[in-house]
């Protein structure tokens, strides 16, 4: 185990007051040098105004998000005349919209900007961020939102927050812009911590909370239920966490306390915004927190790397970091700073939310009830039949573009080829007559799981290639994988033709369940790290399960 000084989580805890400051200081940011590995990414900036002052402050914020950016800043160009260049991981449009005053007055800016973004989309599959200073109207926003993978970076919100501090006329002659240094730092903070990590993913799925001196002031075992204090800052923190739960994140409790005391605490402290029922998993004991965190991850059916842990104790943070080096950890000793950190923490924000996000917590409870009933059922097969499983399918559903991209980008156990298609790539496949992209929703008598699977196929000689199969872990355990995949492949064959089906696969750190399924489905275990496994449609017909599943194909003509 490395000493604490060499643990990234401890170093990051020391960075927090500077990284999450309301008004970051450039000298402090420039002095921050990460001693942990960061993923290299390339950011290309298309601009007609200076970006250099933002770019110089970006490295520290990106390093906190475990990213290291190669920033390519283009020439000043009002026309946004894009040319094919080396690939980038993200494209940033950084414009001074006052230079388009004529177009603003005529309403032509929105149409022109859409045309330029469509031209850029034709050159790259990377996410596109368009910085808005408040001059993009509803028409422009709607037109840009229709372009796959294009998002608006809300620079105007920072202008509203900074007020008169946004501008500094003294720098106009030096930098060709009147944006103040405070404005440049605020933009760097939001870009580096929130927007670029959200664009590059993957998103976090859960927040794991300590109790004592984290959600309130005091120690439950010493101060008692009535003695711990909900300060105004702690109340604001709990309300912030509650908001994140409502946006689709799981909440879990990880505390060194007596379980009976904690249950009494939440039963009696009605002033707490967070309630006992808000937790999808709890681990209250005196066991090592690393053991309990592993149990929480298993119960939530997600990888520990997809959870953010809040704890006020640096010793606990160091211990968890040793066992889970990929798990994000937030030192939560200061409730006010912690609440601000949750506004900015990398990969907490999602570019979009759909109805499936709101179903997660209830679906998890239903899964636990389903498992308990199955364990006590005298006839397991009969119980599974009694669930009344229903699968809804869509072929090439443009209105589900965002959800399909989410599923393709997840680190699920059931991600067969790890193709990681982003929104632009999924959109291209949805419009390609030689591709068949299928979305699947799952429900039974206990819960509605929403859209839980994406199957990506394309035509090949005498058959089709399945480029990836992605199924949410929440959908597993009901024995319907074969029924789901066979129904999808049957429709894909009707569109693309052919009898041979080649399944692409790639070993990842957590996708053994998907690889095991493919081996059983095709009759032989997979021995290579990556490749394709081919079968005929005739051979696969015998894999249909003896499980009554209602299958419904929905129309896909609805507009995106």
Cα dihedral value 162, 165, 166, 171, nearest 10: -160
CA 355 to chain centre: 15
Crossing angle of helices 138-145 and 108-123, rounded to 10°: 20
Please name which of 46, 76, 43 lies closest in space to residue 61, comparing C-alpha atoms: 43
Pick the CATH number of 369-553 from 3.30.1450.10, 3.40.630.10, 3.40.630.30, 3.40.225.10: 3.40.630.30
Domain 37-200 has what CATH class? alpha beta
What integer pLDDT is reported at residue 557 of this predicted model?
Answer: 46
163-170: long-range contacts, CB 8 A cutoff, minimum separation 24: none
DSSP state of 145: H
CA 431 to chain centre: 25
Q: 254, 324 in Cβ contact below 8 A?
A: no
Pick the CATH number of 206-344 from 3.30.70.420, 3.30.2000.10, 3.10.20.30, 3.40.50.1000: 3.40.50.1000
Which helix (H) or strand (E) element contains residue 236? helix 232-246
Q: CATH 3.40.50.1000 occupies which residues in the chain?
A: 206-344
Place of tokens 């005091």: 218
What integer pLDDT is reported at residue 548 of this predicted model?
Answer: 78
How would you write the pLDDT of the chain (560 residues) with one tens digit per residue? Answer: 444 546 888 999 999 999 999 999 999 999 999 999 999 999 999 999 999 999 999 999 999 999 999 999 999 999 999 876 789 999 999 999 888 887 656 568 888 999 999 999 999 999 999 999 888 888 889 999 999 999 999 888 888 888 888 877 676 666 667 788 999 999 999 999 999 999 998 889 999 999 999 999 999 999 999 999 999 999 999 999 999 999 889 999 999 999 999 999 999 999 999 999 999 999 999 999 999 999 999 999 888 999 999 999 999 999 999 999 999 999 999 999 999 999 999 999 887 766 666 667 777 777 777 777 777 778 767 777 788 889 999 999 999 999 999 999 876 678 999 999 999 999 999 999 999 999 999 988 888 889 999 999 999 988 899 999 999 887 777 778 898 999 999 999 999 988 899 999 999 888 888 999 999 998 888 889 999 999 999 889 888 777 778 899 988 643 32
CA 206 to chain centre: 10
What integer pLDDT is reported at residue 362 of this predicted model?
Answer: 75
d(CA 235, CA 229): 10
Q: CATH 3.40.50.1110 occupies which residues in the chain?
A: 37-200
Q: CATH 3.40.630.30 occupies which residues in the chain?
A: 369-553
Half-sphere exposure of 505 (CA within 13 A, CB side): 24
d(CA 417, CA 455): 11
CA-based torsion, 99, 100, 105, 109: positive or negative: negative
What integer pLDDT is reported at residue 3 of this predicted model?
Answer: 47
What integer pLDDT is reported at residue 535 of this predicted model?
Answer: 92
* Cβ neighbours of 238 (radius 10 Å): 22
d(CA 527, CA 415): 17
């Amino acid at each position: 185990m490395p000493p604490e000084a060499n643990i990234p989580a401890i170093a990051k805890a020391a960075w927090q007051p500077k990284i999450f400051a309301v008004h970051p200081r450039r000298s402090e940011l420039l002095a921050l040098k990460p001693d942990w590995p960061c993923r290299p990414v390339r950011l290309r900036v298309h601009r007609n105004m200076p970006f250099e002052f933002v770019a110089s402050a970006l490295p520290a914020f990106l390093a906190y998000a475990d990213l290291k950016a190669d920033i390519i800043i283009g020439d000043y160009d009002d026309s946004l005349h894009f040319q094919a260049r080396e690939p980038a991981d993200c494209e940033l449009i950084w414009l001074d919209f006052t230079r388009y005053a004529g177009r603003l007055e005529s309403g032509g800016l929105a149409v022109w900007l859409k045309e330029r973004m469509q031209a850029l989309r034709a050159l790259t599959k990377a996410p596109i961020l368009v910085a808005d200073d408040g001059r993009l109207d509803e028409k422009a926003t709607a037109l840009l939102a229709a372009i796959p993978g294009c998002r608006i970076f809300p620079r105007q919100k920072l202008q509203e927050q900074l007020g008169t501090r946004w501008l500094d006329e003294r720098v106009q002659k030096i930098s060709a812009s009147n944006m103040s240094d405070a404005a440049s730092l605020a933009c760097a903070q939001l870009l580096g911590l929130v927007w670029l990590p959200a664009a590059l993913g993957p998103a976090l799925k859960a927040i794991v909370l300590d109790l004592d001196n984290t959600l309130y002031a005091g120690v439950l075992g010493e101060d008692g239920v009535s003695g711990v204090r909900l300060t105004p800052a702690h109340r604001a923190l709990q309300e912030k966490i509650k908001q994140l739960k409502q946006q689709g994140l799981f909440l879990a409790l990880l505390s060194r306390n007596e379980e009976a005391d904690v249950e009494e605490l939440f039963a009696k402290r009605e002033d707490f915004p967070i309630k006992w029922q808000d937790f999808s998993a709890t681990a209250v004991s005196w066991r090592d927190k690393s053991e309990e965190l592993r149990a929480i991850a298993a119960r939530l059916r997600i990888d520990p790397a997809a959870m953010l842990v809040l704890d006020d104790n640096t010793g606990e943070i160091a211990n968890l970091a040793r066992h889970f080096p990929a798990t994000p950890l937030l030192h939560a000793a200061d409730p006010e700073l912690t609440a601000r950190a949750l506004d900015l923490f990398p990969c907490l924000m999602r570019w979009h939310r759909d109805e499936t996000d709101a179903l997660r917590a209830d679906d998890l409870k239903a899964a636990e009830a389903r498992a308990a009933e199955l364990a006590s059922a005298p006839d397991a097969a009969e119980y599974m039949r009694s669930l009344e499983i229903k699968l809804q399918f869509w072929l090439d559903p443009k209105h589900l573009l965002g959800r399909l991209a989410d599923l393709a980008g997840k680190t699920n156990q059931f991600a067969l080829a790890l193709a990681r298609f982003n929104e632009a790539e999924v959109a291209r496949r949805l419009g390609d007559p030689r591709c068949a992209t299928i979305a699947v929703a799952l429900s039974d008598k206990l819960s509605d799981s929403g859209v839980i699977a994406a199957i990506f196929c394309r035509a090949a000689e005498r058959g089709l290639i399945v480029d990836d199969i992605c199924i949410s872990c929440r959908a597993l355990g009901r024995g319907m994988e074969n029924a789901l995949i066979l129904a999808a492949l049957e429709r894909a064959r009707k569109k693309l033709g052919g009898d041979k089906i080649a399944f692409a696969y790639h070993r990842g750190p957590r996708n053994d369940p998907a690889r095991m399924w493919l081996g059983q489905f095709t009759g032989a275990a997979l021995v290579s790290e990556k490749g394709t496994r081919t079968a005929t449609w005739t051979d696969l017909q015998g894999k249909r399960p003896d499980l009554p599943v209602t299958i419904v194909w929905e129309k896909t003509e609805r507009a995106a």
